[in-house]
Amino acid sequence: MTRPRPSRLRRSATTLTAVVAVLGLAACSATGGRKAVEERENSVGNAGTPTMTVAMVTHSAPGDTFWDIVRKGADDAARKDNVDLQYTADPDGAKQANLVQQAIDKKVDGIVVTLAKPEAMGPTVRRAIAAGIPVVAVNGGMDDYQKLGVLSFFGQDERIAGEAAGTRAQREGAKRPLCVIHEQGNVGLEDRCAGVKAKVPATQVLYVNGKSPSAMQTSITSKLQQDKSIDYVVTLGGPIAMVATQSKTSAGSQAKVVTFDTSKQVVDGIKSGSIAWAVDQQPYLQGYLAVDQLWLYKTNGNTVGGGQPVLTGPAFVDKTNVATVEKYVASGRR
């Protein structure tokens, strides 16, 4: 089991403003004016460049609401950039590596990966780069992408996100949080709980079987029944948050349920009060920017981030701003 390790990257986050500036370079020309704007508007969905093929390999499981949003962002960028996006996923690190190898064998033009399990993925990622295929990372592996030679990283510093969640919980009066990890060996999830514990030292960690909602509910319910002092349940994904709300009811617990990552169900939970707040890392941006980075690199030699990770989070969604976020949920982009 991989244990949490402190993030080695504590530099200032590359701002999304810089990303927008880079992406907007193609909109500038010597002629400019309304004619150029109209030409761009009329070419939406057709980048005017040859079709390129991008393989996207993630660690998502079927029906994962978070990764549905990441994929939506990647799909939107692919349509804009004339990219043939080939999406595959498997939560098992070795199987992810096999999917990357299949993409190498197909001689794709670029690869998007997650590095939640860098030990399993590293050798194959290096092979892709050695074969001349540019690789970018999203969501997991911020501590590892540079040493693997990966072009850019789009996501959040999970340790910092965990500390932000822990700070907020502590300010709200949390004394004995329970942090639920649903995938052992996922360095990002470990870092989140480590960050919470850094701010609230009495935080307990509970490992559950993320592949079985019923098993998760049983484990969380049992823990809440055994330890009535637990006052916060911190889950690390939207689907797990929904299970935790059921466990809270079954156990008769007064603990607040909070979570990392949003979904329609999480937004509804925040509105109803069954979930207090969520840490949002804007998954749509991760998918969109990753595909766009590969297109920029292949067509114009651009790299985004200046060698630093491009952070898409963390931010908080709670009752003060959930109505704004809800407007975008129906489109599958939040």
- C-alpha span between 270 and 320 (Å, rounded): 10
**Phi and psi at residue 195, in whole multiples of 5°?**
-65, -40
Q: Which of 233, 237, 234, 267 is nearest to 250 (CA)?
A: 233
Same domain, 103 and 185: no
**Could you tell me whether strands 52-58 and 83-89 are parallel, antiparallel, or unpaired per DSSP bridges?**
parallel
Examine residue 327 and state whether it is found in any structural domain, yes or no: no
- The model's confidence at residue 268, banded by pLDDT at 50, 70 and 90, is very high
User: Residue 30 pLDDT more than 50?
Assistant: no
Q: What is the mean pLDDT of residues 296-310?
A: 95
Count the neighbouring beta carbons within 10 Å of the beta carbon of residue 215: 13
pLDDT tens figures, 177-190: 999 999 988 999 99
Same domain, 130 and 163: no
Q: Which of 134, 129, 116, 131 is nearest to 58 (CA)?
A: 116
Specify the amino acid at residue 124.
T
Q: What is the mean pLDDT of residues 5-15?
A: 42
CB 16, CB 312: distance < 8 Å: yes
Q: What is the pLDDT of residue 11?
A: 42
Token code pair at residue 47: 């980048």
Token code pair at residue 164: 């932000």
CATH number, domain at 72?
Answer: 3.40.50.2300
Same domain, 103 and 177: no
Token code pair at residue 237: 């994904």
Q: Which domain holds residue 35?
A: 16-156+282-313
CA neighbours closer than 13 Å in the CB half-sphere of residue 251: 26
- C-alpha span between 65 and 100 (Å, rounded): 23
Q: What is the mean pLDDT of residues 120-138?
A: 98
Same domain, 41 and 188: no
Helices (H) then strands (E): counts for the chain: 12, 12
Q: What is the pLDDT of residue 222?
A: 98
| 10-49: burial string, b at 16+ Cβ within 10 Å, e else | eeebbeeeebeebbeeeeeeeeeeeeeeeeeeeeeeebee
pLDDT tens figures, 194-240: 999 999 999 999 999 999 999 999 999 999 999 999 999 999 999 99
Same domain, 96 and 179: no
Q: What is the pLDDT of residue 46?
A: 66
Distance of CA 17 to the CA centre of its chain: 19
Q: What is the pLDDT of residue 61?
A: 80
Q: Which residues pair with 232 in a beta bridge?
A: 177, 256
Examine residue 268 and state whether it is found in any structural domain, yes or no: yes
User: Residue 25 pLDDT more than 80?
Assistant: no
pLDDT tens figures, 62-120: 778 899 999 999 999 999 999 999 999 999 999 999 999 999 999 999 999 999 999 99
Q: What is the mean pLDDT of residues 130-143?
A: 96
Q: What is the mean pLDDT of residues 248-277?
A: 97
Token code pair at residue 6: 């402190």
- C-alpha span between 255 and 189 (Å, rounded): 21
Residue predicted with more confidence, 8 or 147: 147
Examine residue 60 and state whether it is found in any structural domain, yes or no: yes
- The model's confidence at residue 14, banded by pLDDT at 50, 70 and 90, is very low
pLDDT tens figures, 144-170: 999 999 999 999 999 999 999 999 999
Same domain, 176 and 138: no
Examine residue 253 and state whether it is found in any structural domain, yes or no: yes
- C-alpha span between 301 and 293 (Å, rounded): 10
Q: What is the pLDDT of residue 29?
A: 34
Task: Please give the mean pLDDT across all residues of the chain.
Answer: 88
Same domain, 171 and 73: no
Same domain, 146 and 241: no
Residue 66 host element (H or E): helix 65-81
Examine residue 329 and state whether it is found in any structural domain, yes or no: no
Token code pair at residue 310: 């491009």
Tally of structural domains, the chain: 2
Q: What is the pLDDT of residue 301?
A: 97
Q: What is the mean pLDDT of residues 235-264?
A: 97
The region of weakest confidence among 43-52, 175-184, 191-200, 240-249 is 43-52
CB 177, CB 234: distance < 8 Å: yes
Same domain, 131 and 240: no
Q: What is the pLDDT of residue 47?
A: 78
Q: What is the pLDDT of residue 45?
A: 58
Same domain, 71 and 93: yes
Ordered DSSP codes for 109-152: SEEEE--SSHHHHHHHHHHHHHTT--EEEESS-TTTTTTTT-S-
Examine residue 205 and state whether it is found in any structural domain, yes or no: yes
Q: Which residues pair with 153 in a beta bridge?
A: 137
Q: What is the pLDDT of residue 39?
A: 44
Q: What is the pLDDT of residue 131?
A: 98
Q: What is the mean pLDDT of residues 33-49?
A: 54
